[in-house]
């Protein structure tokens, strides 16, 4: 077919159909083979689920380069959507943050394997939340290392599973309180900012909270389901980002199936078992296929095993971070890529580009009327010492529950084989102790060395740095002495 030998740089579009009475099925590798295309990401197939398909063949992967996100992208349109990236055909991808037509808050799920771009995508959404007056509560279960720029740009930033539980409990209470308040007003639906703001709770690395053997799995699952159920009509959304190959890893498939069906579901680079699960859960029609997202855009080229070629460096191939499928969008099988968010290369501290995306304003906070319902934990969100005490109480409660369990049933919600999390001194306390023991201000490196030498568990430099930030920004006696130096204000 001459059409398949396009001039350089040309895009070819094939409209295909099978005879009436048949259902179009295709096999992606076979299609690539038939077209003699080695790089499968050059082909896009979209079907109507029945007889017809459009096959688009690009001269090279059309998503290799994507522009940076702008503040304008993040402003909600009249349908409550923001621009998050582009589809392979160049059209803008929109994700819904809110549904003004029904007044419904949204549920968000962001899946992807490690390095696929979950945390950056979350930052885009968090920046959008801030810019649209949405109150964000974020629990970053990677010790605050996943989305560090969010810390001062959201209303409540937590870093431990205990704090996630406190946040979830508070959010469920707020939903209850709003419901009662709205019902007294005779209101049947949520109206944004009249008077209450939208409120989103996000759990980053939710798998750490929900996977089998995680200490708070049962309660977290219950609370997430509860918030998903009651929050929608009172302006409270919930979002999870997770690295998971199975829904089972996330509190059991029942919890999430409903959320997945109605939520904004984004699938970044995933494992094939995850996709099988999505199909078996009915989230993707059995005939739909998603072109797997490769780790990098390197062509597989067969060469003699003995060819000497300096050009064989895998490291040079562009990555595919941020490429995804927006399953809840109008084109679930069309590959898209998120806009560039922040710098690709790691920055030594907080990423200035990401900070700029959030803007300088103070983040929106929960309405006064709900502060009582949000309770002690919300009031203590900027008080690390008080928060540590509340977290310890959550931990102790879980321990007590565990001790009450009849023998033989142990391990259902908490695995005693795991070292108790809160019993070991927390990094933040070790960091403060290191500063207290020193006679002069210390750099982050000095603090790290002192903490590594204190006989406690191994720590990573990032965790020490985060602890320092938390201490300096929190209401404690730790202060910055000079550029890059920390000390105790005695
Ligand atoms: N939209 C994006 N724009 C720019 N860079 C990105 C984007 N998405 C991902 N990256 C790059 O890829 C790296 C990994 O992305 P990210 O940390 O978001 O992945 P992740 O899915 O959260 O991984 P992990 O499971 O390790 O937490 C980032 O450090 C960044 O360099
Ligand atoms: Mg991450």
Through-space distance between the first and last CA atoms of the chain, rounded to whole angstroms: 81
Which run of H or E residues covers position 34? helix 28-35
Which run of H or E residues covers position 488? strand 485-488
Instruction: Please compute the mean of the pLDDT values over residues 110-118 and round it to a whole number.
Output: 92
Tokens representing 213 are 């053997």
Is the bond leading into 195 cis (omega within 30 degrees of zero)? yes
| pLDDT band at residue 37 using 50, 70 and 90 as cut-offs | confident
- The values of phi and psi at residue 77, to 5°, are -85, -175
Among 1.10.3720.10, 1.20.1270.10, 3.40.50.150, 1.10.10.10, name the CATH number for the domain at 423-490.
1.10.10.10
N residues, the chain? 490
DSSP 19: P
Round to whole Å and give the CA distance between 405 and 412: 9
Among 68, 70, 73, 117, name the best residue to mutate to test ligand 1's pocket (greatest count of ligand atoms within 8 A of Cβ).
117
The closest residue, in CA terms, to atom 9 on ligand 1 is 117
Q: What is the pLDDT of residues 359-371, one digit of tens each?
A: 999 999 999 999 9
Predicted confidence (pLDDT) at residue 289 exceeds the cutoff of 70: yes
* Ligand 1 and 119: CB distance under 6 A: yes
pLDDT at 194: 87
Predicted confidence (pLDDT) at residue 136 exceeds the cutoff of 90: yes
* Ligand 1 and 269: CB distance under 6 A: no
pLDDT at 300: 64
- In CATH, what class is 72-293+318-368? alpha beta
pLDDT at 1: 42
pLDDT at 412: 43
Boundaries of CATH 1.10.10.10 in the chain? 423-490
Please name every residue paired with 239 in a beta bridge, in sequence order, or none if there are none. Answer: 108, 202
Query: Which residue shows structure tokens 């083979």?
Result: 33
Predicted confidence (pLDDT) at residue 373 exceeds the cutoff of 90: yes
pLDDT at 421: 46
* Ligand 1 and 337: CB distance under 6 A: no
Boundaries of CATH 3.40.50.300 in the chain? 72-293+318-368
């Amino acid at each position: 077919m001459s059409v398949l030998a396009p001039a350089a740089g040309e895009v070819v579009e094939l409209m295909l159909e099978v005879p009436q009475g048949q259902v179009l099925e295709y096999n992606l590798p076979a299609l690539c083979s038939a077209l003699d295309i080695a790089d499968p990401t050059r082909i896009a197939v979209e079907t109507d689920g029945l007889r017809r398909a459009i096959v688009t063949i690009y001269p090279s992967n059309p998503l290799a380069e994507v522009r940076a996100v702008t503040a304008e992208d993040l402003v909600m349109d009249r349908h409550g959507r923001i621009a998050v990236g582009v589809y392979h055909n160049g059209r803008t991808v929109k994700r819904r943050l809110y549904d003004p037509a029904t007044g419904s808050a949204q549920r968000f799920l962001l899946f992807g394997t490690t390095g696929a771009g979950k945390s950056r995508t979350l930052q885009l959404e968090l920046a959008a939340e801030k810019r649209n007056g949405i109150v964000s509560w974020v629990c970053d279960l990677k010790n605050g290392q996943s989305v560090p720029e969010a810390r001062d740009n959201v209303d409540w930033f937590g870093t431990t599973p205990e704090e996630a539980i406190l946040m979830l409990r508070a959010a469920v209470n707020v939903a209850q309180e709003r419901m009662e308040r709205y019902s007294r007003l005779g209101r049947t639906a949520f109206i944004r900012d009249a008077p209450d703001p939208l409120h989103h709770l996000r759990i980053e690395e939710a798998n750490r909270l929900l996977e089998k053997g995680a200490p708070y799995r049962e309660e977290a699952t219950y609370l997430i389901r509860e918030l998903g159920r009651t929050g929608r009509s009172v302006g409270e959304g919930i979002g999870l980002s997770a690295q998971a190959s199975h829904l089972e890893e996330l509190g059991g498939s029942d919890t999430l199936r409903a959320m997945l069906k109605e939520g904004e579901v984004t699938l970044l680079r995933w494992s094939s078992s995850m996709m099988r699960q999505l199909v078996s859960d009915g989230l993707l029609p059995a005939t739909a296929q998603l072109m797997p997202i490769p780790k990098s855009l390197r062509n597989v080229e067969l060469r003699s095993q003995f060819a000497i070629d300096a050009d064989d460096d895998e490291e040079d191939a562009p990555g595919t971070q941020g490429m995804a499928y927006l399953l809840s969008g109008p084109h679930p099988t069309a590959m898209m890529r998120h806009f560039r968010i922040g710098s690709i290369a790691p920055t030594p501290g907080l990423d200035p580009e990401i900070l700029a995306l959030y803007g300088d304003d103070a983040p929106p906070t929960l309405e006064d009327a709900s502060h009582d319902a949000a309770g002690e934990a919300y009031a203590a969100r900027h008080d690390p010492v008080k928060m540590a005490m509340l977290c310890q109480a959550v931990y102790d409660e879980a321990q007590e529950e565990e001790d009450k369990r009849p023998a033989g049933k142990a391990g259902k919600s908490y695995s005693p084989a795991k070292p108790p999390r809160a019993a070991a001194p927390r990094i933040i306390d070790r960091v403060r102790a290191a500063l207290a023991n020193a006679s002069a201000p210390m750099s982050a490196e000095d603090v790290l060395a002192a903490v590594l030498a204190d006989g406690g568990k191994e720590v990573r430099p990032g965790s020490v740095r985060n602890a320092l930030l938390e201490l300096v920004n929190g209401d404690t006696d730790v202060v910055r002495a000079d550029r890059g130096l920390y000390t105790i204000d005695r």
